């Protein structure tokens, strides 16, 4: 699918929203991400971005934060112009509107993590204008908040939407302080009956998960989307090892992921998210030689059979690898 950039908006000092016109209607479930391909210095780079817009139309939007030394996020911020085109693959992802039905929701986000939960919010309200939703967005300062106009407009239109801004470095009637268990407890005395969906930096999500659980939400009603894969625990996986794939030998050093090692030799591995989320980089090997930070969407049976995610795995010995 081809996307043509039609509009760029600067949301904060390091976050932009890009609108695109696709050459076909986008079919996805709110909350899902779009794998996009960008050509930088002759090489094709692939990254995933959660769709902030709604399905069933050709117009779509992505909201992207510059990552320190990040290749694609900075390239887009510095070089993408209206009229430029990108390639995109079909949307995917398990973090989506199928995780809830008619339950009351609490949607939590920080920074650009707002994208999937904003898409869920808009679709839920379109489906059921009486849906009971608490929407909490966290930012360091008032200027770092995103989608302010859109969210304020929704909150004035829907009385049943409780919009909460948590701003760490600012006080005042308009904002709550930094998100905490106490802030969550004060929002709703019936929090435990809600389904929680959250997206933001790892530390933010770990804390929010703990607070929600201690306020009575069942673990199975708390869902999150991770934008960045955790680096596998290091220790035993130091030094260099050899991966053998279809008779070809590839050297992998202790700190490299299997994905990095295979890509550096030009082996044909497809990696849509690079974050242990989508399962597209699935490989098979000897599980006793693997150090994986996540098995993401793989089933217990897959893992038992030696399947692993190349983007989230290192090795601690020489190993035979099958791709796919």
What is the SS3 assignment for 149? helix
Tokens of 137: 């967005």
Closer Cβ to ligand FES, 59 or 223, answer by number: 223
**Residue 237 Cα to chain centre, angstroms:** 27
Among 8, 22, 71, 125, binds ligand FAD (CB under 6 A): 71
Distances (CA, A) of 3 to 58, 85, 179: 9, 5, 36
147 is a site residue for ligand FAD (CB under 6 A): no
Closer Cβ to ligand FAD, 175 or 313, answer by number: 313
CB 284 within 8 A of CB 276: no
Per-residue contact track with ligand FAD, 223 to 242, x per CB under 6 A?
--x-xx--------------
Q: For strands 133-139 and 161-167, give the pairing.
A: parallel
35 is a site residue for ligand FES (CB under 6 A): no
Helix (H), strand (E), coil (C) string for 209-270: HHHHHHCCCCHHHEEEECCCCCCCCCCCCCCEEEEEECCEEEEEECCCCHHHHHHHCCCCCC
279 is a site residue for ligand FES (CB under 6 A): yes
Burial bucket for residue 190 (CB in 10 Å: 0-12, 13-18, 19+): exposed
Give the range of 47-55, 83-91, 215-223, 302-310 binding ligand FAD by CB under 6 A: 47-55
134 is a site residue for ligand FAD (CB under 6 A): no
Distances (CA, A) of 29 to 15, 94, 142, 232: 24, 9, 30, 30
200 is a site residue for ligand FES (CB under 6 A): no
Give the range of 3-11, 81-89, 150-158, 274-282 binding ligand FES by CB under 6 A: 274-282
Q: Which does 257 bind (CB under 5 to 8 A by kind): ligand FES, ligand FAD, none?
A: none
What is the SS3 assignment for 114? helix
Among 13, 69, 101, 159, binds ligand FAD (CB under 6 A): 69
Among 208, 309, 315, 321, binds ligand FES (CB under 6 A): 309
Q: Which does 296 bind (CB under 5 to 8 A by kind): ligand FAD, ligand FES, none?
A: ligand FES
Binding residues for ligand FES, per CB under 6 A? 271-274, 276-281, 296, 309, 311
Binding residues for ligand FAD, per CB under 6 A? 33, 47-50, 63-65, 67, 69-74, 93, 112, 115, 225, 227-228, 273, 275, 277
């Amino acid at each position: 699918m081809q996307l043509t950039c039609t509009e760029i908006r600067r949301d904060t000092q390091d976050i932009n929203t890009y609108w695109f016109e696709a050459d076909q209607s986008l079919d996805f479930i709110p909350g899902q991400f779009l794998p996009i391909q960008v050509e930088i210095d002759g090489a094709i780079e692939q990254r995933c971005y959660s769709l902030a817009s709604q399905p069933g139309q050709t117009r779509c939007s992505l909201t992207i934060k510059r990552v320190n030394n990040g290749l694609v996020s900075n390239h887009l911020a510095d070089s993408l112009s209206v009229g430029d085109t990108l390639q995109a693959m079909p949307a995917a992802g398990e973090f989506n509107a199928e995780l809830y039905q008619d339950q009351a929701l609490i949607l939590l986000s920080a920074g650009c993590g707002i994208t999937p939960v904003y898409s869920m919010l808009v679709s839920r309200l379109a489906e059921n204008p009486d849906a009971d939703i608490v929407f909490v967005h966290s930012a360091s300062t008032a200027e770092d908040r995103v989608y302010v106009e859109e969210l304020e407009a929704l909150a004035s239109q829907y009385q049943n939407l409780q919009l909460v801004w948590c701003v760490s470095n600012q006080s005042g009637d308009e904002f709550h302080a930094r998100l905490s268990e106490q802030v969550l407890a004060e929002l709703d005395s019936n929090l435990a009956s809600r389904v929680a969906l959250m997206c933001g930096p790892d530390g933010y999500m770990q804390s929010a998960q703990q607070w929600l659980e201690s306020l009575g939400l069942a673990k199975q009603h708390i869902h999150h989307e991770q934008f960045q894969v955790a680096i596998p625990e290091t220790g035993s996986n130091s030094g260099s090892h050899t991966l053998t794939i279809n008779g070809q030998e590839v050297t992998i050093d202790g700190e490299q992921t299997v994905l990095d090692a295979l890509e550096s030799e030009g082996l044909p591995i497809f990696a849509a998210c690079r974050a242990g989320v989508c399962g597209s980089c699935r490989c098979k090997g000897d599980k006793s030689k693997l150090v994986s930070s996540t098995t993401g969407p793989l089933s217990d049976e897959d893992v038992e059979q030696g399947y692993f995610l190349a983007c989230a795995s290192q090795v601690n010995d020489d190993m035979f690898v099958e791709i796919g």
